[in-house]
Chain A
Amino acid sequence: MSTQTLNEQDDTQSVSNLAENGKRVLVLGIGRCGLRVLNNLPGNGTAPWLDTLAIDTDSAMLDASRANHKINASADWSSKTSVGCGGDILRGERAIYHERHNIMSILQGHDLLIVTGGLGGGTGTGGIRALGSIAKSSGVPSIYVVTQPFSFESYSRRKNADDCVNELLPLADVMITLPADLLFSTMLSANAAVSEAYDAASQEIAGIVSGIAAVLRGNEIIGTNVATFMSALKERKAICGVGIGRATSHDGLDRCALALRRMLESPFMGGKESMDRTDAVILTVIGGNDLTIAELKRTLELASGLFPKNIELTVGASTSETMNGVIQISAVIIKYAPEDAPKKAIRKSVIPSEPVLPISAMPQSSFRDGPLESPELQLQIFDRGVFDAHPSVRFHDLDLDVPTYQRRNIKIDKGN
């Protein structure tokens, strides 16, 4: 196998210099789920280019974390106790904003921020919302790898998670939302313990975070930078699946096919069904200096062939000295929410889907069935404040005198 170097940069750089010459990535874990992910990062996050920061409102959880930096955010300003925020999103948000200055000072000197956490709870949901604003003002590109609650978790947690995604979309550069239920598709059996489900999720997400960091840190051959992810995911609501497959030269002759198979078997990939229903895919290959053009070509051709033809497929390749002897194939599959899906021409049928019945054939109701009840509409009361006395002026179907947060039903912390 020929070792044709694709990278035109200086090959004499040693691994130990990567901290100075390469991009520095900060992986920030927030809340219980985020801290578990940090603890499961391959190599415990000890790579010289990787920094880890753990933030939680629960000091006991933080003590068990192995992150480089820790911030113990207090949800209660008056007592400064750190026993969590009890699932209250506003308290979680307030706690993180309180640590704004510390977070910004740790962010300094990093080229990329990856935030990981679980949505639905107080610290994770509220804290990630706050982090969105803080990261935006710092100017560091930010990628959010967050999980949606399992379907067996309460409706309120799922709603909180959904609301958080809507609020975070304008602030995040890239948002990868992973439904935790995907784990059931390939990995977990019905008899698996609850703790096993959560541990499996943490391990997989840690692998995904590490894989994405490696891709974005590599020396770009074909577009694989933050902008690639941003073009597909910035400000577009989507449910994602991520698959990362790795293989080394020791694993066999055809390391590409092996890495591809492992990628397809990733729990968060969601299986063949997810791949067939996808709207867009970002496919990247990262290897070391020994990655050959033949391997790259074959890998990308094989991987591209797995997805439907009419999707938005973005392909990238990069190399990194830390990946010598290893090939990693990663795929982010994206299913956009209906309002954000690419517009396709739909030919509507002129034939009604349900038959129209003549009046004589319609079921008859009589007054003996009981009095007709008129249901009451639950009208939302909007307060226009100083503009109450003035006639409303509608612009693009919006009454702009009603505050934006009211129209979007966003809760605001009024303090105490």
Chain B
Amino acid sequence: MGSTNKDFISGIEFGTDKISVIHACVNEKGCIDVLSFASKPSKRAIVKGEIIDANEVINILNDLLKESEKGLSMNFDRTDRRVFFLVNGMYVCTRQGEGTVLTGSSSGKVTRKHMEEAMLAAQNIVLSSDMQQIQVFGSYFILDGRKRESSPLDKLAEKITAHAHVVFASKKQLDVIQKILREVGFERDGIPLFSPIASAYSLLTLDERMQGTLLFDFGAGVCSYALIHNDGVLLSGTIPVGVNNLANDLSLALDLPYDFCHTFIKESRLTRLHMENQNYLEYRTEQQVRRIPVASFEKVMDLRIREIFDLMQSILGQHKIYHNFCTSVVITGGGALIESAKQMMSDVTNLPVRVGTVQNLSGSLTSIRKESMPCYSAILGLVKEIGELDKEDSSGIDKLANAMGKFGEGLQNAFGTLLGALKI
């Protein structure tokens, strides 16, 4: 192991738009210090969150790791490091599980053991052989079939039902990622974390998590969401459309090159045209100069963005009870920087909306412009989430990683650590 610092966190994001690597640690005051950060475009090696060109990803990741390790003031030995990586895409699924346990104790009180057993039972979801469970989050407990509690310890009840939010992913895709990590030098298996939930726990305030907030990550390849209520996860998932689809729509609608449209959105050129009161955009080619109405850009983008938010609204509507638990929306990701996105989300959901960026991080973040922070919410959220979890469990990141790795085996000790970490 290169470093004896037990609180050292390494994270990788395999995004459709960019691949990012981050190294951070928890300092003496308990705050997260980013030691180094590097990011590079994915060059279409990843589509909608799925890796389609593993060789290209390996090349990019190698460059990123070399660049990020230069910024570290210590020797970084990949062979003994365990790295966290974010998963996001249609190969990730989620489900709500339910497990019931009778307390049967003489005092009638709910003990920690009852909670753990109920949670273990809740995770027993039958999966197809090509899927693998990666994370479990507590949603809530119900006592005696009628009373909802987020922390039922020492409460009186004859029966306790745990509701858990289980995340699972395609084994094939996870194997591809683990192979890539081994190729670049990590000998230990990486730990997958579902991207929107990582973002949610870092972007949302405690009040928002308690009252019920929907986190919507408007990414390049896919949009992902997580609904947090009473500090538990009620709903999460992915919609297979993102900012790249917006660029594609503009390209087809207005006969423009895709890369031009992608840059148009990324650099918020529409906002600039509005500020300059321009009614049309002049596009020059070798043969001609075209004047394209600004309104056409607006219309194409508004149609797509509204459709995405309508889909989100219909998903909330399908899970009828969840709709009642959503009091606000936080949008993040590159799509959150689009001018009309925030207002449109507010119109569609009739809820207050804000743009989320990770706060209370310090260190080597000079490569990220402040305005672009929402684009990196997921990877920054990852270190913040792991760092915050580690603060509560003083045994260090490695023990937490071991706990997560042994999760499927349901060992009581491992689960005890996880319960504490997941704030159930």
Q: Name A residues whose Cβ lies closer than 8 Å to a Cβ of B.
A: 77, 93-94, 97-98, 100-101, 130, 133, 137, 170, 383-387, 390, 393, 395-396, 400-401, 403-406, 408, 410, 412-416
Contacts and interface: CB of A to CB of B under 8 A. Distances in A.
B249 interface: yes
B359 interface: no
Nearest to B299: A412
B6 interface: no
Contacts of A101: 277
Contact of A401 (B248, B291, B306): B248
Contact of B245 (A137, A401, A413): A401
Given A97-B295, A414-B253, A385 B290 contact: no
A385 B293 contact: no
A97 B306 contact: no
Interface of B: 47-48, 90, 239-241, 244-245, 248-249, 251-255, 258, 277, 279-280, 290-296, 298-300, 302-304, 306-307, 311, 314, 340
In the complex, the 8 A-B pairs of residues with the closest C-beta atoms, listed nearest first: A415-B292, A97-B295, A403-B249, A385-B248, A400-B241, A404-B303, A412-B253, A393-B240
B424 to A, nearest CB: 32
Nearest to A388: B248
Nearest to B314: A396
Contacts of B251: 385-386
Contacts of A133: 295, 298-299, 302
A403 B304 contact: yes
A18 B227 CA distance: 47
- Counting chain A CB atoms within 10 Å of each CB, which of B258, B290, B296 scores highest? B296
B220 to A, nearest CB: 12
A10 B314 CA distance: 46
Contacts of A406: 252
B248 A387 contact: yes
Contacts of A414: 253-255, 292, 296
B254 A415 contact: yes
Contacts of B302: 133
B249 A404 contact: yes
A405 B240 contact: no
Given A414-B296, A415-B254, 14 more contacts: A100-B277, A100-B279, A170-B306, A395-B241, A401-B241, A403-B249, A403-B300, A404-B307, A405-B253, A405-B303, A408-B303, A410-B303, A413-B293, A415-B280
Given A385-B251, A414-B255, A395 B292 contact: no
B254 A412 contact: yes
B302 to A, nearest CB: 7
A97 B254 CA distance: 17
A72 to B, nearest CB: 15
B82 to A, nearest CB: 32
B251 to A, nearest CB: 6
Given A386-B244, A400-B245, A415 B252 contact: no
A390 B314 contact: no
8 contacts: A94-B293, A133-B298, A133-B299, A384-B248, A386-B248, A403-B300, A406-B252, A415-B254
A101 B295 CA distance: 12
Contacts of B249: 385, 403-405
Contacts of A412: 253-254, 296, 299-300
B261 to A, nearest CB: 10
